[in-house]
Amino acid sequence: MISAGEFVQKSLGLHLFFLRIMKEHSIFLEAGFVPKDQALAWSAEMFKNEFNQLLEQAVELANDNVSGEVLGSGEVVTVNTVAAEEKTKELTGIDIDLALSKKELRLRPGRGNPSLEAKIERFNLIAMQQTKSLIDFKTLLLEKILECNLFAFNFPLLIEHLREEAMFYLERLEKLQERRKTAPRQKIIEEKVFWDHIMAEHAMFISHLLDPSEKTLITQADNFARVFTQLEQQVKRLEKTGKANRMLRELFNEELKATRDIRDFKSKGGQLILACQVRSIINPLLADHVLREANHFLNELEHLKV
């Protein structure tokens, strides 16, 4: 069982990362519809607003109640988030709350205040409910696209990917609500299987959203896709065979290196996109978003003991 303080701190850390992720998924969906599907774009806009409100509340609660590791990892906001939001707002016409991101840059760390336990428990329930609705929306879109009843400028695999991330958030919250502590080995394996898969898909998306003339970047992205697909398969094999922790440790070191490399690649790519030096259909906020997801995974890896 985790303590009340830990429950508060872990819940808020998770929300700061994932509520923003959910809000941005809504923005990416909204930006991908054609004029005919204005009603779907409105639904996405509503999700964006609702997640923005939840994030606002989480930010209020998080001051002095969230770990320094989370705040320092670059998973909540990066140095480029505000600029990426500003540019994406200008390019898409979608309203984005820049003031909230600036507020997040000023958040102070602290141990979770145990007296907030009941309040956080209620907040978690609301976030879970809202995330379930977003999962349903993503499922609806995916089905329509796969049945060829909807055309959107988001790949089906991307929508599936956004849905998987929402489901992962939901599972994490369900576990937290039960105050359950996962065994370290199990936790490492679960996180690795999930995030290896996510990192591999990011690399594939980057490769496909770059202009075909960007050959060097495409090759680099394809290499990352290969590396993370292999890492995912290796850890799955290890999980099946129950092999020794020594092997997990070796794999873990490979993982750290690969994740730092993809983090650097995304960080550089994001800066180039912001500086208008890459030909692509990647909006600056998407570039910053996938960087934050790599930062989150790296933070998890760096603080897990094998």
Q: Which residues bind Fe ion (CB under 5 A)?
A: 21, 165, 293
Q: Which is nearer to Fe ion, 201 or 214 (CB)?
A: 201
Give the single-character DSSP code of 168. H
**Amino acid occupying residue 214:** E
Nearest CB to Fe ion, comparing residues 94 and 238: 94
Largest CA distance in the chain: 56
- Whole-angstrom distance, CA of residue 162 vs CA of residue 32: 14
> 87 vs 266, which CB is nearer to Fe ion?
266
CB of 195 to Fe ion, least distance (A): 9
Give, as one character, the DSSP assignment of residue 67.
-
Consecutive H or E run containing 57: helix 38-62
**Smallest distance from Fe ion to CB 198, Å:** 5
**Dist. CA 120–CA 67, nearest whole Å:** 16
Task: Decide whether 293 or 300 has the Cβ nearer to Fe ion.
Answer: 293
- In 198-300, the DSSP E strands lie at none
- The CA distance from 231 to 224, in Å, is 10
CB of 178 to Fe ion, least distance (A): 25
Nearest-approach distance from CB 277 to Fe ion, in angstroms: 23
Cα distances from 249 to residues 171, 185, 246, in angstroms, run 26, 10, 5
Residue 94 near residue 88, CB atoms below 8 Å: yes
Phi, psi of 305 (to 5 degrees): -100, 125
As measured in angstroms, the least distance from the Cβ of 208 to Fe ion is: 14
Closest approach of Fe ion to the CB of residue 108, in Å: 26
Query: CA torsion, points 208, 212, 214, 218, in degrees to nearest 10?
Result: 40
Query: Looking at beta carbons only, is 21 or 116 nearer to Fe ion?
Result: 21
- Residue 301 corresponds to which amino acid? L
Q: Which residue lies nearer to Fe ion by CB, 248 or 300?
A: 300
Q: Which is nearer to Fe ion, 75 or 104 (CB)?
A: 75
Instruction: Name the phi and psi angles at 152, rounded to 5.
Output: -145, 155
Nearest approach in angstroms of CB 115 to Fe ion is: 33
